[in-house]
Amino acid sequence: MKGLDYTLLTVAIIGAINWGLIGIFRFDLVATLFGSMSWLSRLVYILVGLAGLYLISLYGRVRQNSSES
């Protein structure tokens, strides 16, 4: 489970950096690397979204771990 957490956290961080680049510089790194809305760029966007949804569960696990300490 810990490996999955780190992998999906990394994917979410990459997505966050991409959104920061879009917001500040209007530069979409994913579209630049894989093409604008190609199947590969869409896959990256889907994986980032799923990673974000999965990481919502961290809130419950962090709260649970902090109450055990």
pLDDT confidence of residue 69: 66
pLDDT confidence of residue 68: 77
Sequence-ordered list of residues with C-beta below 8 angstroms from that of 15, at least 6 positions apart, any chain: 45, 48, 49, 51, 52
Tens of pLDDT along 7-60? 999 999 999 999 999 999 999 999 999 999 999 999 999 999 999 999 998 888
pLDDT confidence of residue 53: 95
Residue 67 has pLDDT above 90, yes or no: no
The answer to pTM > 0.85 is no
59 burial (CB, 10 Å; 0-12 / 13-18 / 19+) is exposed
Given the structure tokens 């500040």, which residue do they identify? 24
Residue 61 has pLDDT above 90, yes or no: no
